[in-house]
Amino acid sequence: MTSSPVVWQAIEAFVVLNALLVLVAYVTLLERKFAARMQSRIGPYYVGRPHGWLQPIADALKLMLKEDVVPTASDRGVYNLAPIVFLVPCLLIFATIPFAPELGVADLNIGVLFFLAVSSLEIVGLFMGGWGSNNKYALLSAMRAVNQIISYGLPFIFVALVPVLLAGSLQMSAIVAAQQGLWFVAYPGLGQLAFVLFLVAALAAENRVPFDILEAESELVAGFRVEYSGMKFALIQLGEYAHMLGTSFLGALLFLGGWSGPWPAWFGPIAFLLKAVGIFLLVTWVRWSFVRIRVDQILAISWKLLLPASLVLLLATGFVVALRGAGGA
Amino acid sequence: MNTQTQVVELGYGGNERLMLNMGPQHPSSHGVFRMILTLAGETVVAVDAVIGYLHRCHEKLGETLTYAQYPSIASKTDYVAAMTAELAYVSAVERVGKIEVPKRAQYLRVIAAELQRIASHCLWLGTWCLDMGGAIGGGSTVFLYCMREREMILDRFEELTGARLLYGFHQVGGTRYDVPAGWDTKVRATGDFMEKRIDEYEAMLEGNAFFLVRTQGVGVISRELAQEVGVVGPLIRGSGVNYDVRRAEPYSSYRDFDFRVPVETAGDCYARYRVRMVEFRESIRIIRQALDGLPDGPISSRPGVKSVGQVRVPKGEGYARVEGPRGEVGCYLVSDGGPKPYRLKWRGASFTNLAVLPHIIPGHKVADVVAIMGSVDPVFGEVDR
C-alpha cells in the first residue's frame, strides 16, 4: 500500500482506527461473557437483551459522564497527559498490521520492528500515570511496571524474531506469505516452543493475570490508575485492550499464518480476525484461571527462564535457517 | 486510601522508607483493618496493625440483654460463623447455670457447627484466592465457585432456622428449632456434593504452580512462635501443634464422633490451606455421623422458654470455649443471679490470630502481605466485637 496517495492512506487509517475502537469495545464484552461462563455466571445481560450487546456502549457512555477527578496533590500536567501517552502507542501498533494482502494502513518493510518498538513505548504513559498521581499505590505500581516491562520486553522481542528469521523479512505481509504452505506454529519443534514462549511473554507484556502485578487490585488497589476516573480511566482501559488485541493480531500473524489458510481469499481477513480473537481468548482463559505471582517471582521467571530460553530458541532458529540455505526472501 | 494527601517520602539515597497505609478501606482488608506498612522498596520492614474500626460494644451489650435475648446478638460477633459464636455464649450460660442439654440438642448443635465450619471455610478459600488472584483474575473464579457452594449450606440453614446469616438457632438449654422433614437427606446430599467440589478446588489449586509459589514458604509461623503468641485453630495446627478444642475439651457430645484433627508442620500459608481443606472433609464426616446417630427426644431442656426474663442463672462465673472455624472462641460470663449477665467477655479467635501478623510479615513483599493476611482468615466482627 506504500504506493497509494496520502489521502487514501488517511482514509484507511481513519477506518482502521474506528473499526479498532468498536472491536476493542466488543472484545471487552466477549471477555466478560467468556469469564462469566468460566465462573458459572451469565455476565452482562440486561443492557441490550438478550446478551448484553449494548453493554460496551453503555459503559463508554457512563465513563464519559463521570466526574473527572484530579487529585490536588497530583502533578497536573503529567497526570493529565499520561492517558494519552499511554493510548497513542497502543493504537499506533495497528498501523503496520495488514489485515489482508494490500489491506492495511502501512505495510512497512520493518513492520515487526515498528510494532515492537512502538508497543514498548506504552511504559512511558504508565510511569507518568503512576508518578503524576502522587499516590503511593500508584507509585509502587509504576515501579513494578518499569521492572516488568523491561524484563519481558527482551524475551518478547527475541521470540517475535523467530518467525522473522524463518521468513527472512521484517515485513508483515512477507511473513504471512512465507506461511502459505505451513503456519509457523506447525514448524517442527521451533514453532510450538516459540508460540508458547510468545504467549507467556505476551501475557506479561499485556499485564494480564498471572503477571498483572501493576494493576494488582488486591494489593495496590488499582495500581497506576487508582486515581483516574471518567474519560481518562476509559482511555487507559481502551489502551490496555487495544494493546492486548494488537498483540493477539501479531501472534496470529507471526505464528498462525495471518489470513492464509485453505479458504477462499475473501474469507482471509475474517479468518485472521478469528485467529486473533482465538489468541485473545486463550490469554483470557489463562487470566481467569491463575492467581497472580509476586514481583520477584515474575522477574525470576523472565531472567532465569524466558530470556535464556528465547535466546537459545533464536540461536536454534538461526542454525535451522542457515542449514536450510536461502532464508525465504 | 486515606494517604493520598501525604507527600511521598521517597529519597534517592536508597535507605529511605516508604510508609504505606493499607486500610481501613482496602480491597483486601477483609472488613476494616488497617496496616501501616513500612516499606524498603517492595519489602516490608515493619507492620503496625490497627484494629477497632468495627467496635460495637458487644460485651457491654451482653450485660444489657437477657440470657434469652443475647444468643441472636452473639451471632453478630463472628458473622461469618454465627452458629459457633452463639454456641459459645449458650455454653457459657449453661456452664454457669449447670443446665443440662438433651442429647438430641447436642447433636443438632454439632451438625449446625460443622455446617457452619464448611460455610466459613468456603468463604475463607474464596476471599483468600481473591486476595492472591485479584478480583479480575483467577482468584475471582475460585471465589465464585466457593460462594456457589456456600449458598447450598446457607439454604440448609434457611430451612432449619429461617435465616441465612445470623441464625438465633441456639438457646440456653438446647436449640430453638428442630430438624424439618426431609432435611437430613438434603444435608447428606449437600455433603456428598461438597466433597466432589472440594476435590475440584484441590485439583484447581494444588496443580497450579503459581498458587504453590505464592503459598509455600510464605508467612511461616514456627511452632514456638505459634505457642508464644497463642494463635489458635488452623493456624496453630498448621504449625505442628495438635490442638483442637473439640479434642482437648470435648463439648456438645464431640466425644461420640470419629474425626481426624489435621496437623501440618510447615507453618506456611500452604500448611494452613491444607489444614482447612482436610477440615472440610472431616466436617462432612462428622455431619454424617451425627445425622446417623441423631437421637430422639426433646430439643431443649427448657422448652417454651421464650419470654425474656425466664432464664435465670445462679450467682457464679464460668468460661466456655468451642472450636470455631477460626479456632477457639471463648465466652467468659459472670452472673449475679439476675436475668442478665453481670459481665461478659468474649475471646475471639481472630483477635489472637491477628496478633501474629507483625511477627511474620516483615521481610515479605507487599503482595505477600495480603496472602498472609488472607491465610489468617480474620473476621473483624470478632476482632473488634
Q: Is B40 on the interface with A (CB under 8 A)?
A: no
Query: Which uninterrupted H or E stretch holds B46?
Result: strand B43-50
Out of A19-23, A313-317, B16-20, B259-263, pick the least confident: B16-20
Closest residue to A136, CB basis, from B18, B136, B368: B18
Domain presence at residue A311: yes
How many Cβ pairs closer than 8 A exist between chain A and B? 131
User: How would you classify the pairing of strands B43-50 and B34-40?
Assistant: antiparallel
Contact call for B5 and A226, based on CB within 8 A: no
Per-residue pLDDT tens for A214-232? Answer: 777 777 777 788 888 888 8
Res. B5: pLDDT tops 60 = no
Domain presence at residue A206: yes
Q: B59: exposed, middle or buried (C-beta count within 10 Å: 0-12, 13-18, 19+)?
A: middle
Res. A326: pLDDT tops 70 = no
Quick check: helix, strand or coil at residue B330? strand
Q: What confidence score (pLDDT) does residue B316 get?
A: 87
Domain presence at residue A295: yes
Percent of chain B with pLDDT over 90: 16
Residues in A closer than 8 angstroms to B129, CB to CB, are 291
In the numeric block, which cell numbers belong to residue B236? Answer: 496453630
Contact call for B138 and A71, based on CB within 8 A: no
Rg value, chain A, Cα: 20
- For residue A131, the distance in angstroms to the closest alpha carbon of chain B comes to 10
- Could you tell me the domains of chain B? 58-384 (1.10.645.10)
Q: State the CB neighbour count (10 A cutoff) for residue B94.
A: 24
**Position with higher pLDDT, A299 vs A265:** A299
Domain presence at residue A1: no
Q: Which pairs with CB-CB distance under 8 Å and at least 24 residues apart come from A65-69?
A: A65/A230, A66/A229, A66/A230, A66/A231, A66/A233, A67/A229, A67/A230, A68/A229, A68/A230, A68/A231, A68/A232, A69/A227, A69/A229, A69/A230
Band the pLDDT of A1: cuts 50, 70, 90.
very low
Of B281, B349, B276, the residue nearest B126 (C-alpha)? B276
Q: What confidence score (pLDDT) does residue B3 get?
A: 41
Res. B137: pLDDT tops 50 = yes
List, in sequence order, the alpha helices (H) in B49-172.
58-64, 71-74, 82-97, 103-133, 138-161
Can you tell me the distance from the alpha carbon of B370 to that of A294, in angstroms, rounded to the nearest whole number? Answer: 11
Domain presence at residue A12: yes
Can you tell me the distance from the alpha carbon of A219 to that of B367, in angstroms, rounded to the nearest whole number? Answer: 6
Per-residue pLDDT tens for B39-57? Answer: 887 888 888 888 888 888 8
Q: What confidence score (pLDDT) does residue B7 get?
A: 42
Residues in A closer than 8 angstroms to B42, CB to CB, are 140, 143-144, 295-296
Q: Is B214 on the interface with A (CB under 8 A)?
A: yes
Looking at residues B141-151, what average pLDDT do you find?
88
Percent of chain B with pLDDT over 70: 93
**Position with higher pLDDT, A261 vs B94:** B94
In the numeric block, which cell numbers belong to residue A73? Answer: 496533590
- Cα A121 to Cα A233, A310, A326, B332: the distances in Å are 19, 22, 34, 63
Residues in B closer than 8 angstroms to A219, CB to CB, are 28, 366-367, 369-370
Q: What confidence score (pLDDT) does residue B303 get?
A: 62
**Residue carrying C-alpha cell 473476621:** B379
Band the pLDDT of B136: cuts 50, 70, 90.
low
Contact call for B133 and A292, based on CB within 8 A: yes
- For residue B164, the distance in angstroms to the closest alpha carbon of chain A comes to 22
Res. B4: pLDDT tops 60 = no
Res. A104: pLDDT tops 80 = no
Domain presence at residue A303: yes
Q: What confidence score (pLDDT) does residue B308 get?
A: 55
Q: Is A288 on the interface with B (CB under 8 A)?
A: yes
Asked if residue B358 has a cis previous peptide bond (ω within 30° of 0), the answer is no
ipTM for the complex? Answer: 0.78
Out of A171-185, B106-120, B155-169, B247-261, pick the least confident: A171-185
In the numeric block, which cell numbers belong to residue B218? Answer: 510464605
Per-residue pLDDT tens for A105-164? Answer: 777 788 888 888 888 888 888 888 888 888 888 888 888 888 888 888 888 888 888 888
Domain presence at residue A147: yes
Looking at residues B180-184, what average pLDDT do you find?
88
Looking at residues B331-351, what average pLDDT do you find?
88
In the numeric block, which cell numbers belong to residue B108? Answer: 443438632
How many folded domains does chain A comprise? 1
Q: Is A292 on the interface with B (CB under 8 A)?
A: yes
Contact call for A219 and B213, based on CB within 8 A: no
Closest residue to A221, CB basis, from B7, B26, B131: B26
Query: Which uninterrupted H or E stretch holds B321?
Result: strand B316-324
**Position with higher pLDDT, B229 vs A268:** B229
Q: What confidence score (pLDDT) does residue A135 get?
A: 84
Q: B195: exposed, middle or buried (C-beta count within 10 Å: 0-12, 13-18, 19+)?
A: middle
Band the pLDDT of B319: cuts 50, 70, 90.
very high
Q: What confidence score (pLDDT) does residue B154 get?
A: 92
Band the pLDDT of A9: cuts 50, 70, 90.
confident
- State the residue range of the domain holding A90: 6-324
Q: Is B147 on the interface with A (CB under 8 A)?
A: no
